[in-house]
Amino acid sequence: MPSIVAVILNWNGATDTTACLESLRHQTSRDVHILIVDNGSKDDSVDRIKDWATDHNVAIKLVENGANLGFAAGSNVGIKHALKVGAEFVFLLNNDTVVEPEAVSRLVGFLTEHPDFVAATGQIRYFGRPVIWNCGGDLTWTGSRRYLYSEQPVQSTPQEGWRKITFITGCAAMFRASVFERHGLLTERFFFGEEDYELSQRLRRARLRIACCFDAVIHHKVGSSIDRAAPPATLGRYYIYYLNRFIDMKDYYPRPIWWLWRWISIAVVLPRLRSRGLSWRGLTLLGRRLLRDSAQLDGVSKERFEAASRSGPESL
């Protein structure tokens, strides 16, 4: 069997992390090496994870970053370790996922049988609900992503076979290690978010193929990581999300088209957010900050993320 390293990032989330580990313990593929990267947790996460591994006699490698490096930079610590030990496959897995027993073997089996594909994800369901979160998706020319089978009942979606996709979500993605060796790690320009979108753009630009395997099932507690970092449905959270995307797309559009695309995006996004109860005053401020900051910045730092999450874009 090829060597597989599952990279799981933990930040103050031991309850979710140990549930994820429990699901990996029951994988039919026995050649899964587990690497936990603790991203500077301030609670007792590290001790609880170590205790769980001892109690269940599960071998894990635990790396402590000592600080919250953000999702991409923290995950890259794990990817580098996987490459160093000679992994053939790297399984990026959110700590708030639960993986069904056949998932790893089916993803690796697909990539083994299809050497022209470099990555695969599975059928990702909402945790505790018989509804699809997504099955990967497709990048669009407008700079968005179109999720596959999103919000559809499980019974109405394929339960076997596969489909070529162009967007792969970082919450559960199996990569050939050679992808990171040849095409680089996750971008660290963004403290939280955007890394999977940027990587998908990079893979598409390199004409590399990725797929969704419908019989590899993952359950995802959607939003638990970002909810701990930033309150939901706030201007600050929307500011970070769209600022990430606006900055990222500077690399994928000619500059005149990018300038026009930003204005069109603002015109589409603000009325949509208004329908969620946000005030026009706040939305006007949001639009101005997005236009200003996306033109000036090349990334979104931890300091900016935390300031926006705490006080909103008006503080920036």
Per-residue pLDDT of 69-115, as tens digits, reads 999 999 999 999 999 999 999 999 999 999 999 999 999 999 999 99
Tokens 């971008």 found at: 187
Determine what percent of the chain is predicted with pLDDT higher than 70: 95
Q: Does position 52 have pLDDT exceeding 90, yes or no?
A: yes
- Which residue(s) pair with 138 in the sheet? 146
**Among the ranges 1-15, 207-221, 226-240, 296-310, which has the highest mean pLDDT value?**
207-221
127 pLDDT more than 90: yes
Do 237 and 231 meet the contact criterion of CB atoms below 8 Å apart? Answer: yes
Is residue 255 classed as helix, strand or coil in its secondary structure?
helix
Chain segment 145-203, per-residue pLDDT in tens:
999 999 999 999 999 999 999 999 999 999 999 999 999 999 999 999 999 999 999 99
Distance CA 189, CA 299 (A): 5
Instruction: Give me the pLDDT at residue 154, please.
Output: 96
The span from the CA of 222 to the CA of 219, in Å, is: 9
User: Can you tell me the distance from the alpha carbon of 170 to that of 18, in angstroms, rounded to the nearest whole number?
Assistant: 19
Give the C-alpha separation, 231 to 238, whole Å: 10
Render pLDDT for 33-43 as a digit per residue (tens, 0 to 9). Answer: 999 999 999 99
Question: Has residue 225 got a pLDDT over 70?
Answer: no
Query: Residue 7 is encoded by which pair of tokens?
Result: 């990279």
Please report the pLDDT score of residue 310 as a whole number. Answer: 84
Mean pLDDT, the chain, rounded, equals 93
pTM: 0.92
- Tell me the two tokens of residue 313: 């874009």
Percent of the chain with pLDDT over 90: 85
- At 278 the pLDDT is 82
Strands, E assignment, the chain:
4-10, 32-38, 60-64, 89-94, 97-99, 117-126, 132-134, 137-139, 145-147, 162-165, 172-176, 209-220
What mean pLDDT is predicted for residues 109-130? Answer: 97
Amino acid identity, position 119? A
Terminal Cα distance for the chain, rounded: 51
pLDDT of residue 233: 55
State the pLDDT confidence band at 130, using cuts at 50, 70 and 90. very high
Q: Give the Cα separation of 100 and 129 in Å (integer).
A: 15
Q: Which of 153, 201, 171 is nearest to 103 (CA)?
A: 171
The arithmetic mean of pLDDT across residues 136-153, rounded, is 94
Instruction: Report yes or no: 230 and 309 within 8 Å, Cβ to Cβ.
Output: yes
Residue 133: φ, ψ to 5°: -80, -60
How high is the pLDDT of residue 2? 58
